[in-house]
Amino acid sequence: MTLQALNDWLARRGYPAYRAAQILSSAYRRRVPSFAAMSNLPQTLRSDLESEFCLPVLNPAVVAHSSDDTRKFLFRLEGDAAIEAVLIPDTPRLTLCISSQAGCGMGCTFCATARLNLQRNLSAAEIVGQVLAAQRQLLDQERISNLVFMGMGEPLANYAALLQAIEILTADWGVGLSGRRITVSTVGLVPQMKKLVSETPVQLAVSLSGTSDEQREALMPINRRYTLAELLGMCRELPIPQRRRITFEYVLLAGVNDSLADADRLARLLHGIRAKVNLLPFNPFLNAGYERPSDASVVAFQQRLLSRHLNATIRRSRGRDIQAACGQLALAQKVD
């Protein structure tokens, strides 16, 4: 629940409004396991809460450990659905990659999750529950510093639950993460992109991975609904704060979109946008139909972008040995 919703519930029963922040802080910050254990509340309120609500706890069914200390969590949900989340240590940051849907309906050909198709949207509780579950796996002194919606699903296709989850994740009475440390990735749902930037404090990442409509349509079917011109036109219009940039994610596929000509077209496409490019060398999965480009090819692509005055970084793949790297989440667990 959000603060306002709980305030309304309390008001209807004659409880003071300040109790809402106490309840939610106990649930999200202190992670109290039950309403009965919220000793700062009167017994009558605890009983009323117990009779109408539950404190759902999401526990991983499987935890897979990578040789590079990445951890992947498999969560089983109601209705036979399942999702994965990935905890990525990169000192001093500790990043959690979470899911917004079980499966995905966007059909990107280079992503293993797309092969699952869309099973269902997650609730706000299931989205936030991944964060709380990961935090319970950490040492007392460890804290998740960054959160990325880059796991299973298209976050903007589950917009209402995403918005509610972001409020809980960023609120003082909630998890208390800075909006600047939360990144939401999208394949390019143009109308929802504008809403997200206007209604939340989070960072936006756009999966691009193609430098022409023909190329992008073959890789990402969403391009048939929103062309590159429409997508990048919206990116130019977005009210991005002055000191921020839009991140464009570009999956490099050997012999498909990794030529220097592709790099030149990408630089032209992004001209005039406050942008940074995150290059993701393809992470293979079974029967993918694509190959990972050579390290030399990846570096050459980056250098061409840099020479065109475009901020470009190469994302280091983490957790590939447990199928936890970007594009590999497909409920395939490899456990030590």
Active-site residues, by number, are 84, 326
Q: Cα–Cα distance between 256 and 254 in angstroms, integer?
A: 5
| Whole-number Cα distances in Å, 32 to 26, 29, 43, 44, 136 | 6, 8, 16, 18, 12
319 residue type, one letter: G
CA atoms within 13 A on the CB side of 112: 21
Q: Cα–Cα distance between 17 and 39 in angstroms, integer?
A: 17
- What's phi and psi for 174, nearest 5 deg? -105, -135
Q: Are 321 and 334 in contact (CB under 8 A)?
A: yes
| Whole-number Cα distances in Å, 200 to 183, 197, 280 | 11, 6, 26
Provide the strand spans (E) within the chain.
62-65, 71-76, 82-90, 93-97, 101-103, 118-121, 146-149, 182-186, 203-207, 246-252, 275-281, 311-314
Tally: H helices and E strands in the chain: 10, 12
Q: Cα–Cα distance between 143 and 138 in angstroms, integer?
A: 7
Q: Dig out the tokens for 175 from the structure.
A: 């998890």
